Amino acid sequence: MTDEKITIEDFIKVDLRIGKIIHAEEVEDSRKMLKLQVDIGEEEERTIYAGVKKSYSPEELLNKLVVVIVNLLPREMKFGTSNGMMLATQNDGDIIVLQPEKDVMPGAKIS
């Protein structure tokens, strides 16, 4: 955790949107990762690798609405390329995926 402060200009660079997980599968040879296909309201879905396998099965994530950072540079991983980041936190060692309180359309911007 850092105490470094950012400006509002720094924050508004982050493109946060609601995504809907339309496919989820385990990543072979990984204890942590799931491969997700996420609808973020664009023509093509995004592939996102998320280290949430400890707390979620692929079936539990299917059709969930989640918060996604969509403007990160793609990250090359040994499993493939991740094109975004799903936000999550931890509580007593459990991973908790951040979700909107109500139904929202995939691609809805968070401001």
**Mean residue pLDDT across the chain:** 95
CA distance 89 to 110: 18
Quick check: 24 pLDDT over 90?
Answer: yes
CA distance 47 to 61: 14
The pLDDT value given to residue 72: 95
**Pairing outcome for strands 34-39 and 46-50:** antiparallel
The pLDDT value given to residue 3: 84
- Give percent of the chain above pLDDT 70: 99
**pLDDT, tens digit, for every residue of 41-77?**
999 999 999 999 999 999 999 999 999 999 999 999 9
Q: How confident is the model at residue 1 (pLDDT cuts 50, 70, 90)?
A: low
29 DSSP 8-state letter = T
CATH code, residues 8-97: 2.40.50.140
> 90: which residues sit within 8 A by CB, 6+ positions away?
96
CA distance 46 to 84: 7
CA distance 31 to 99: 24
39: Cα separation from own chain's centroid: 11
Domain map of the chain by residue range?
8-97
The pLDDT value given to residue 52: 97
Quick check: 2 pLDDT over 90?
Answer: no
Mean predicted confidence (pLDDT) in 25-54: 96
C-beta of residue 18 within 8 angstroms of C-beta of residue 98: no
**Pairing outcome for strands 65-69 and 88-91:** unpaired
